[in-house]
Amino acid sequence: MFRLVSLALLLTLAWPLSAQEPPVRGLFPLAIEIDGRPLAQLDSDIVVVPVFGTEDPLTTALTGAAPELAAAVNAVRAQQALAGDLAMAPIYAPRGLATARLLLVQAGAETAMTPEHLRRLAGAVLRAVRTQDVRSVALVARGPVTGAAAIRAITEGALLARFDPGLHKTGDRTPRLATLRIAGAGAASPAATDAIAVGRTYADAQNFARSIVQEPSNYMTPEHMAQHARRIARESGLEVEIFDEAQLAAMGMGGIIAVGQGAAAPPRLIVLRYRAPQASATTLALAGKGVTFDTGGISLKPGAGMYQMKGDMAGGAAVLGAMEIIGRTRPAVNVIGLVPAVMNMPSGTAQRPGDVWTGLSGRTVEVMSTDAEGRMILSDALTYAVQQKATHLVDVATLTGSIVTALGDVHSGLFSNNDALVDAFTRSAGRTGERFWRMPIDDAYAGTIRGSLLADLNETGGLGGASVGAKFLEAFAEGTPWIHLDIAGTSWPSSNGPHMANGPSGVATRTLAELAHTLGAAPR
């Protein structure tokens, strides 16, 4: 009897514990330090020195060490080994330096240097040496990006380069590189330590987003996303509320229920709340599409490439990551993070084309294609945000194939009803280096969605699918300043560039968090 009881006790204790802690795979520790010593004394395995354009580093970055290094550096320049963006030229056993390898890297025109260039440079170097027996790298910060901005950019670039998308490969994949030292940025100081911590928070959150987008749907269910949200709330000081299927139905979230009803894994609505330290009149709501797999439902997608639809929760991942940053960096505005999480599956209980549902807003919607599920779940999330008195709304979603046709995997589509919010968002994206392109949502795009014979709205139809989808969502913002980001092309680009592994990008994570800081800093 006692055994049975203790077994039951063990099961109830152990099961929720293991179930509440899905691992975040693909992350590896990296120590990042400030190294205030002069160039000649830097004793990391590699010392990286950025070179701007055609400058002669002997007369700039390498003055002092110049006489001994002249022959080697002149050979690099004579062979044009530094021609081309991020070209790298090693000088082994450089005379007069403590390091075993001096690595010159083409950083482009000095006047064009931005934090994003520095991020890419740091990342590209770390990616280039990742399979080598290199334990420590020192990167010399030089050029127009200085101080905390340089330290933060280098930290972010290095950690983004660190993410390993081989989540389910067996064997130890821990890289040998253990320490990055940032040189040329002065001595260690509280401000420098803080810049490293902030950079780490931003990059870790983006890497977290990449990891759960990469995580396949047999692991990443709506409830698994909710479990990550609970952990993030606990670790970052946020409030969390998870609504289950019965609660969603009772609340009237007909869009989420309709999409979720075909799947064995039930839907969730994740709500994370951050309260500003001082009372704020601004409440930013971030809503991310969390479709943990999109088969298309009864309007089934073609089989080829369907596996990529495990990434259809990339908007939700970006919101969870952004909320983690927001909890840790504490902007001056309130923020609500919303992730409607569902699996879009065909089955005997799945919704059908032609069905009509009533969402939280009270509007009725006729389903044209069960594959237009993103707008169905986001509409309820937007209504909920409006009911919660959000003053600014941003939704982010892998919403349409149409945006991929229009913008490829370079820019995310941006749609908005409010120029001031777009301005704040664009300034935020300027700092994070992420690319967004504003697209039209004239009323002319609303023709088909207003054309249902029996319901208030049609869910799809017409040409310009990305704009039509945005137009549908706009109705649920009810005039509140709102931005819709379509990341269908950018959340999983064909390449992430030389500074990040291919696979999910974690796009929008950092910019959404940055927006909260921008809104908090603006005079109100």
Q: Where are the alpha helices (DSSP H) in 114-189?
A: 115-128, 147-162
Closest CA to 139 of 162, 127, 122, 156: 122
The answer to whether 324 contacts Zn ion (rule: CB under 5 A) is: no
What is the binding site for Mn ion (CB under 5 A)?
Answer: 294, 371, 373
Could you tell me the smallest distance in angstroms from the CB atom of residue 149 to ligand BES? 34
The answer to whether 294 contacts ligand BES (rule: CB under 6 A) is: yes
Neighbours of 13 (CB within 10 A): 10
Q: Is 301 a catalytic residue?
A: yes
**Cβ partners under 8 Å of residue 107, min gap 6:** 50, 51, 52, 86, 113, 117, 118, 121, 143
Q: Which entry of ligand BES, Mn ion, Zn ion, none binds 404, CB below 5 to 8 A by partner kind?
A: ligand BES
- CA–CA separation, 485 and 414 (whole Å): 5
The footprint of ligand BES on residues 373-392 (CB under 6 A) is: 373-374
- CA–CA separation, 441 and 447 (whole Å): 11
Question: Which residue's CB is nearer to Zn ion, number 160 or number 253?
Answer: 253
The answer to whether 372 contacts ligand BES (rule: CB under 6 A) is: yes
- CA–CA separation, 326 and 20 (whole Å): 22
The answer to whether 312 contacts Zn ion (rule: CB under 5 A) is: yes
- CA–CA separation, 179 and 510 (whole Å): 24
**Of the listed 200, 375, 471, 510, which one is catalytic?**
375
Closest CA to 381 of 268, 230, 297, 292: 268
Token couple for 246: 């019965």
Q: Which entry of Zn ion, Mn ion, ligand BES, none binds 488, CB below 5 to 8 A by partner kind?
A: ligand BES
Q: Binders of ligand BES: how many residues, by CB under 6 A?
A: 16
The answer to whether 217 contacts ligand BES (rule: CB under 6 A) is: no
Question: Which residue's CB is nearer to ligand BES, number 292 or number 400?
Answer: 400
Q: Of all residues in this chain, which one has the CB nearest to Mn ion in the complex? A: 371
According to CB under 6 A, which one of 44, 236, 379, 398 is a site residue for ligand BES? 398
Report whether 100 contacts 137 (CB < 8 A).
Answer: no
Radius of gyration of the chain (CA): 25
Question: Which residue's CB is nearer to ligand BES, number 136 or number 458?
Answer: 458
The footprint of ligand BES on residues 424-463 (CB under 6 A) is: 460
Question: Which residue reads 């505005």 in tokens?
Answer: 333
Question: Which residue's CB is nearer to ligand BES, number 44 or number 398?
Answer: 398
- CA–CA separation, 241 and 380 (whole Å): 16
The answer to whether 220 contacts ligand BES (rule: CB under 6 A) is: no
Which x/- pattern over 481-500 shows residues binding ligand BES (rule: CB under 6 A)?
A: -------x------------
- CA–CA separation, 39 and 16 (whole Å): 53
Report whether 115 contacts 433 (CB < 8 A).
Answer: yes
**Of the listed 275, 301, 330, 427, which one is catalytic?**
301
Closest CA to 344 of 318, 320, 367: 367
Could you tell me the smallest distance in angstroms from the CB atom of residue 439 to ligand BES? 14
Phi then psi dihedrals of residue 49, to 5 deg: -125, 115
DSSP string, 128-140: HTTTSS--EEEEE
Q: Are strands 392-397 and 482-486 parallel, antiparallel or unpaired?
A: parallel
Distances (CA, A) of 293 to 147, 307, 320, 404, 522: 43, 9, 17, 19, 38
The footprint of ligand BES on residues 312-341 (CB under 6 A) is: 312
The answer to whether 90 contacts ligand BES (rule: CB under 6 A) is: no
According to CB under 5 A, which one of 94, 321, 374, 469 is a site residue for Zn ion? 374
Q: Is 169 a catalytic residue?
A: no
The answer to whether 45 contacts Zn ion (rule: CB under 5 A) is: no
SS3 letters for 205-265? HHHHHHHHHHCCCCCCCHHHHHHHHHHHHHHHCCEEEEECHHHHHHHCCHHHHHHHCCCCC
Question: Which residue's CB is nearer to ligand BES, number 156 or number 371?
Answer: 371
Could you tell me the smallest distance in angstroms from the CB atom of residue 417 to ligand BES? 21
Question: Which residue's CB is nearer to ligand BES, number 333 or number 377?
Answer: 377
Could you tell me the smallest distance in angstroms from the CB atom of residue 436 to Zn ion? 20
The answer to whether 369 contacts ligand BES (rule: CB under 6 A) is: yes
Question: Which residue's CB is nearer to ligand BES, number 122 or number 488?
Answer: 488
The answer to whether 215 contacts Zn ion (rule: CB under 5 A) is: no
Question: Which residue's CB is nearer to Mn ion, number 91 or number 372?
Answer: 372
Could you tell me the smallest distance in angstroms from the CB atom of residue 314 to Mn ion? 13
- CA–CA separation, 136 and 179 (whole Å): 5
- CA–CA separation, 35 and 181 (whole Å): 6
| Residues with active-site annotation | 301, 375
Residues that bind Zn ion in the complex, under the rule CB under 5 A: 291, 294, 312, 374
Residues that bind ligand BES in the complex, under the rule CB under 6 A: 294, 312, 369, 371-374, 398-402, 404, 460, 465, 488
